[in-house]
Chains A and B, each alone.
Chain A
Amino acid sequence: MSRDRAAIVGAGIAGLAAAEALSGTYDVVVYDRLPVPGGVLRFDHPAVTGLERRCRAAGVSWKLGTTAVRWDGSRLMGVGPGGICWDDAALLVYAGGCRPATLAELGVTGPRLAGVYPAPVAIHLAEAKVILGRRVAIIGSGHWARASREAISGHDCSVTVVTEPEPACGASAARFSGDRVLDGWRPVAVQGVGRVDALTLDRAGQRYRISCDAVILAGSQRPLRNVDGAVTEPAPMVAFVQPLGEHTTHADVAQQVREALPELIRQTSGRSEA
């Protein structure tokens, strides 16, 4: 007897945990734009290899290196090395991970300038030996901020860390020793011509302008949504599994996904029957 297919977008911890959890009741296919599982963890991280091994043993199939671009309620379109492909699926599980808030989402005004990087981009560039700037401002104090700071640690630059009004982890200054830490300030504007050269902050109506030639957006997690037809909630036959949380570990993510998935699928099925 044939089973319904579930398509999963994202082969990070959340996607792999979902694939394993669903493999008993669905034929599961996992999409990821990267060519290997793991997402923000490395492909050889023990948590990744363990989940991948169990998924393969359970018969999960893979569309790695293939970007999922469109969901129409019963089919998922992907673009990969072999061209465009469509997979029929009764359910889409979206496990696309998270991203930092954009300037617009933070309420920061100003022109669109070079030198403003979302933290994941900044980290990749820094690891590729790209110098981001000589006066770097990091907005946020959570794990993206720490990872960004670590990535530019070998660069010849000064760093200012601007923490949220309520820092995610508290005692942020202790975690950025040697850097200037501005606790409790909110970014409100970027200035510059072509490239950022200043960031204006606000705290209880008080304004403070700092000079910088790079800004790393590393605060306020948002779910990453980039598949047309599965952007806003609710979406037809889509369960979103994107746990947010500053202290969330990979084990927490996997556990949250396993616990939340049955109810998410029940809600999704209920919407389709209504």
Chain B
Amino acid sequence: MRVSSPVGEFPFEPVTVLIRGDRVRIEGRVGGWPAHVEIEADDIARLARLAGLRAALPVAGMLARRSKGRQPGNSHA
């Protein structure tokens, strides 16, 4: 993965994916900096509008299944 910024484009290296309720948190590194991306339920709807519903349905389905079946506390994917 890559991220752009006003000072250039950098690699984003995922290290851990955490699913907490209706959120997906991807923790990783942008080179020497710790970084994370957090995707909330509202973001899924927004992404669906931007990318087209078909592209987002599998992700939304996965989140719904994980949310139904999750135990108390964090789950690691």
Interface pair B7/A124, CB less than 8 Å apart: yes
A128 on the B face (CB < 8 A): yes
Chain B residues within an 8 Å CB radius of A65: 30-33
B27 to chain A, nearest CB (A): 14
Give the total of A residues in contact with B, Cβ under 8 Å: 17
Q: How far is the CB of B1 from chain A (nearest CB, A)?
A: 13
Q: Which of A34-42, A132-140, A265-273 contacts B (4 or more CB under 8 A)?
A: A34-42
Any B CB within 8 A of the CB of A63: yes
Cβ B9 vs Cβ A64 within 8 A: no
Known pairs A34-B31, A65-B32, A65-B33; A43 contacts B10 (CB<8 A): yes
Q: Chain A residues near B30 (CB, 8 Å)?
A: 35-36, 65
CB distance from A133 to the nearest CB of B (A): 18
**Shortest beta-carbon distance from A189 to chain B in Å:** 30
Kindly identify which residue among A36, A44, A80, A124 contacts B6, using a CB–CB cutoff of 8 Å: A124
B residues within 8 A CB of A44? 11
Dominant secondary structure at the B interface: strand
Contact among B6, B10, B11 for A125, CB-based, below 8 A: B6
Evaluate contact between B32 and A63: CB separation under 8 angstroms.
Answer: yes
Interface magnitude class on chain B: 10 to 19
Give the docked Cα–Cα distance between A128 and B7 (Å): 9
Cβ–Cβ contact B11 & A81, under 8 A: no
CB-CB nearest in chain B for A63: B32
Q: Does A144 contact B (CB under 8 A)?
A: no
Is A163's CB within 8 Å of the partner chain B? no
- B58 interface residue per 8 A CB criterion: no
Tell me whether B34 and A124 are in contact (CB under 8 A): no
A42:B8 contact, CB within 8 angstroms: yes
A residues near B (Cβ < 8 Å) are 34-36, 42-44, 62-66, 80-81, 124-125, 127-128
Q: Which residues of B contact A (CB under 8 A)?
A: 4, 6-11, 29-34
- The 6 nearest A-B residue pairs measured at CB: A35-B31, A64-B32, A65-B32, A36-B31, A35-B32, A35-B33
Other 15 A-B pairs with CB < 8 A, given A34-B10, A43-B11, A124-B7: A34-B31, A35-B29, A36-B11, A36-B31, A36-B32, A42-B9, A43-B10, A43-B31, A44-B11, A62-B32, A65-B31, A65-B33, A81-B32, A128-B4, A128-B6
